[in-house]
C-alpha cells in the first residue's frame, strides 16, 4: 500500500501490473460500492481539467465516498496569497486524501511533504501525471500485451508530461519507443538519455508515414498553440502531423491510436469511427484506474 | 635570488576560518556564495594564484571571527572541490576538514526551471541530488548540467 501517488517513476513493474489487474477486476464490476463510504476526497485543482477531475470524482462516488473541492482558483484563498503548503495543511484536516492538479512542476512532491493524508498527483505543470500513465498502459493492455511492442509518441514531446510519463513507464517493459515531433518540440535530451539508461530502444523519426508503419500503438499529444509565436507557425506544424484515415491505411491492422485528450486538430474526427481509435475508451478507463488508486491509498 | 627572505603573503588570524586550496581564480566566487560583498563588514584576507606544491596555483581566503556552517561548506564544494577548511581559535587550527559534495544539496542551488515549485514563495528549500549527469531537482525532475556556480543561491 502506497501513501502517496506522485510520480510513475516510483513504481516498479510488479506494482504497475498489480494496479492494472485491480482496475481490470473493478472494470468487471467486482468491487465493494461502500468501500470508501466514510471517506472524503479533497479535490484541489489549480488549473482547468475536465476528464481528470470528473473521473476522480466519479471514482470516489462509485466507491461510496464523497468529494469536496475548493471551487475555482479565483474564488479560493489562492487569490489572497495563500501558499500551496498552507492550503494542503488545511485541507488535510478536512479530507482523507487529496487529489492535486497544479501548474507548477514539483507541486505534488511539495504537497506530500506538508500533507498528513495521502496525496494523489493529478498533473503538475509539465511534470508528472501518474494516473494518466496508468490509464494509457491499461488501455494498451486491453488491446495487446505490454511486452514486445512498438509504441510511437507523436506531437509535443518537449512539454507533454503525459508522453514523458508514459515513456518512463514503458521502460519497465520490453518496448521500443518511436518519436516524431515538430522542430523545437522534440523530447528533451536529458529525458532521452535517462530513457536509454533505463535500457529502452528509442527510434527518432522525421517522416510520419515511416513512423506510422512501425507502430503497434500511436500515442498522439496535443500541440499547444501557446508555444508558438503566431497562428501561422502553429498551423504549419499542427497540420504537418495530422492523423487521418488516409494516413492510417499505412498502419498495421491492429495498431491503436491513443490521445490523453482534449484534442484540437491533431486527429481528424473521421478517425473516430475506425477500429484504431481507442481514445474515448482510454478516457472511460480513467474511472476504474482511479478507483484502483483511491483504494490503494485509502482502502 | 637564492637568499630571498621568506615572507608571509597573508598574516595569520586569531579566530575565524581559513579556506585553503581553493581552485585558482575562484576566491571571489567563494566570497560571493558566502554572501561577502564590499558592503559587509568581515575582516578578510585574500590571496589568488598563490604557488602551490599540490596544485600548481591556488587561492586562499581568511575570514576573521566567522566559522563556516555546513551549508556554506556545501556551496564551496561545488566550485572548489579540493578546498580545505581550517577553523582557527586563538591562532590554533582547531578543526581541519576537506570539503565534499553531499549527496543532497538543500537550499544551495536555484532550479533553472522557472516552472519549478521551488522557485515560488512556498516554505521549502530547493533540493537537488548530485548525480553523474548533473544536479537533479527532487521537486521538478530537471537536471542542472551547466553553469552550476551561476545557480548557487
Q: Which residues contact A221 (CB under 8 A, 6 or more apart)?
A: A153, A154, A155, A156, A157, A160, A162, A163, A259, A260, A266
Between β-strands A40-45 and A119-124, what pairing exists: parallel, antiparallel or unpaired? unpaired
Residue B34 distance to chain A (closest CA, Å)? 27
Look-up: residue for cell 503538475? A124
Give A-chain residues touching B145 at CB under 8 angstroms.
190
Give A-chain residues touching B141 at CB under 8 angstroms.
7, 105-106, 127-128
Question: Are the Cβ atoms of B124 and A128 closer than 8 angstroms?
Answer: no
Q: Where are the beta strands (DSSP E) in A148-290?
A: 149-154, 175-180, 201-204, 217-220, 256-258
Handedness of CA A252, A255, A260, A261 (dihedral sign): positive
Question: Are the Cβ atoms of B116 and A103 closer than 8 angstroms?
Answer: no
Distance CA A153, CA A171 (A): 14
Side-by-side strand order, sheet with A217-220: A201-204, A175-180, A149-154, A217-220, A256-258
> CB–CB of B42/B93 below 8 Å?
no
Does the active-site annotation cover A51? yes
Give A-chain residues touching B114 at CB under 8 angstroms.
none
Q: Which of A22, A39, A62, A129 is catalytic?
A: A129
Grid coordinates representing B88 are: 582557527
- pLDDT band with cut points at 50, 70 and 90 for residue B7: low
Q: What is the arithmetic mean of pLDDT over A76-95?
A: 88
> CB–CB of A128/A160 below 8 Å?
no
Q: Does the structure show a pLDDT above 70 at A123?
A: yes
For B108-128, letters b (16+ CB in 10 Å) and e give bbbbbbebbbbbeebebebbb
User: What count of CB pairs under 8 Å joins A to B?
Assistant: 56
Tell me: the pLDDT tens digits for A192-250? 988 999 999 999 999 999 999 999 999 999 887 766 677 777 777 777 788 999 999 99
Domain ranges of chain A: 4-127+285-298, 131-282
Distance CA A135, CA A5 (A): 14
- pLDDT band with cut points at 50, 70 and 90 for residue A126: confident
Residues in chain A: 299
Percent helix, strand and coil across chain B, each to the nearest 5: 15, 35, 50
Q: What CATH number labels B104-151?
A: 2.30.30
- Residues on A contacting B at a C-beta cutoff of 8 Å: 7, 83-85, 102-107, 109-110, 113, 124-128, 190, 193-194
Distance CA A30, CA B102 (A): 49
Q: Which of A9, A51, A104, A141 is catalytic?
A: A51
Give A-chain residues touching B121 at CB under 8 angstroms.
83
Residue B129: predicted pLDDT: 95
Q: What CATH number labels A4-127+285-298?
A: 3.40.50.1370
Using CB atoms, which residue from B115, B124, B143 is nearest to A105?
A: B115
Does the active-site annotation cover A83? no
Residue A75: predicted pLDDT: 63
Q: What is the arithmetic mean of pLDDT over B19-29?
A: 90
Domain ranges of chain B: 16-98, 104-151
Residue A74 distance to chain B (closest CA, Å)? 19
Distance CA B14, CA B12 (A): 7
Question: Are the Cβ atoms of B124 and A85 closer than 8 angstroms?
Answer: yes
Q: Which of A78, A81, A101, A105 to mutate to test the interface with B (most CBs of B within 10 A)?
A: A105
Q: What CATH number labels A131-282?
A: 3.40.50.1370
- pLDDT band with cut points at 50, 70 and 90 for residue A30: very high
Residues annotated in a binding site of A for carbamoyl phosphate: 51-52, 101, 129, 132, 261-262
Q: Do domains A4-127+285-298 and A131-282 have the same CATH topology?
A: yes
CATH architecture of the domain covering B16-98? 2-Layer Sandwich (3.30)
Tell me: the pLDDT tens digits for B62-81? 999 988 887 788 888 888 88
Using CB atoms, which residue from B113, B115, B139 is nearest to A109?
A: B139
- From the list A115, A68, A76, A112, the residue with the least C-alpha distance to A93 is A115
Q: Which of B141, B143, B144 to mutate to test the interface with A (most CBs of A within 10 A)?
A: B141
Question: Are the Cβ atoms of A109 and B138 closer than 8 angstroms?
Answer: yes
Helix (H, G, I), strand (E, B) or coil at A202: strand
**Quick one: how many helices (H) and strands (E) in chain A?**
12, 9
Which value, to the nearest 10 degrees, does the dihedral of the CA atoms of residues B29, B33, B35, B36 take?
-30
Question: Are the Cβ atoms of B139 and A84 closer than 8 angstroms?
Answer: no
The enclosing H or E element of A243 equals: none
Phi, then psi, of A107 in degrees rounded to 5: -60, -40
Amino acid at each position: 500500500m502506497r501513501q502517496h501517488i506522485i510520480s510513475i517513476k516510483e513504481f516498479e513493474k510488479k506494482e504497475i501490473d498489480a494496479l492494472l489487474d485491480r482496475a481490470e477486476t473493478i472494470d468487471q464490476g467486482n468491487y465493494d460500492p461502500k468501500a470508501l463510504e466514510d471517506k472524503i476526497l479533497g479535490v484541489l485543482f489549480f488549473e482547468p481539467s475536465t476528464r481528470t477531475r470528473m473521473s476522480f470524482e466519479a471514482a470516489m462516488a462509485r466507491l461510496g465516498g464523497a468529494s469536496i473541492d475548493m471551487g475555482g482558483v479565483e474564488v479560493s484563498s489562492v487569490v489572497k496569497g495563500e501558499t500551496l503548503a498552507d492550503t494542503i495543511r488545511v485541507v488535510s484536516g478536512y479530507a482523507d486524501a487529496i487529489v492535486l492538479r497544479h501548474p507548477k512542476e514539483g507541486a505534488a512532491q511539495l504537497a506530500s511533504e506538508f500533507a498528513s493524508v495521502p496525496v494523489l498527483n493529478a498533473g503538475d505543470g509539465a511534470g508528472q501525471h501518474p494516473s494518466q500513465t496508468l490509464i494509457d498502459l491499461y488501455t494498451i493492455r486491453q488491446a495487446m500485451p505490454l511486452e514486445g511492442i512498438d509504441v510511437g509518441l507523436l506531437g509535443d514531446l518537449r512539454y507533454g508530461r503525459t508522453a514523458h510519463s508514459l515513456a518512463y513507464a514503458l521502460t519497465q517493459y520490453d518496448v521500443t519507443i518511436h518519436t516524431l515531433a515538430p522542430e523545437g518540440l522534440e523530447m528533451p535530451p536529458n529525458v532521452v538519455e535517462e530513457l536509454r539508461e533505463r535500457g529502452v530502444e528509442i527510434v527518432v523519426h522525421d517522416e510520419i508515414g515511416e513512423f506510422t508503419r512501425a507502430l503497434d500503438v500511436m500515442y498522439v499529444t496535443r500541440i499547444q498553440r501557446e508555444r508558438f509565436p503566431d497562428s501561422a507557425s502553429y498551423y504549419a506544424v499542427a497540420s504537418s502531423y495530422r492523423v487521418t484515415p488516409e494516413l492510417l491505411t499505412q498502419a498495421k491492422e491492429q495498431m491503436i491510436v491513443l490521445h490523453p485528450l482534449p484534442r484540437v486538430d491533431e486527429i481528424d474526427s473521421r478517425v473516430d469511427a475506425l477500429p484504431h481509435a481507442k481514445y474515448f475508451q482510454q478516457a472511460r478507463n480513467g474511472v476504474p484506474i482511479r478507483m484502483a488508486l483511491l483504494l490503494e491509498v485509502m482502502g | 635570488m637564492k637568499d630571498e627572505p621568506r615572507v608571509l603573503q597573508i598574516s595569520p588570524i586569531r579566530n575565524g576560518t581559513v579556506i585553503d586550496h581553493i581552485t585558482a581564480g575562484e576566491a571571489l566566487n567563494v566570497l560571493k556564495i558566502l554572501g561577502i560583498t564590499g558592503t559587509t563588514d568581515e575582516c578578510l584576507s585574500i590571496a589568488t594564484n598563490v604557488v602551490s606544491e599540490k596544485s600548481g596555483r591556488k587561492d586562499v581566503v581568511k575570514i576573521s571571527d566567522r566559522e563556516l556552517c555546513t551549508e556554506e561548506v556545501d556551496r564551496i564544494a561545488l566550485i572548489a572541490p579540493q578546498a580545505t577548511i581550517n577553523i582557527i581559535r586563538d591562532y590554533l587550527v582547531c578543526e581541519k576538514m576537506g570539503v565534499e559534495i553531499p549527496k543532497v544539496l538543500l537550499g544551495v542551488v536555484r532550479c533553472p526551471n522557472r516552472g519549478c515549485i521551488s522557485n515560488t514563495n512556498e516554505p521549502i528549500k530547493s533540493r537537488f541530488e548530485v548525480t553523474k549527469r548533473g544536479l537533479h531537482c527532487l521537486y521538478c525532475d530537471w537536471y542542472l548540467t551547466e553553469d552550476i556556480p551561476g545557480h548557487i543561491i
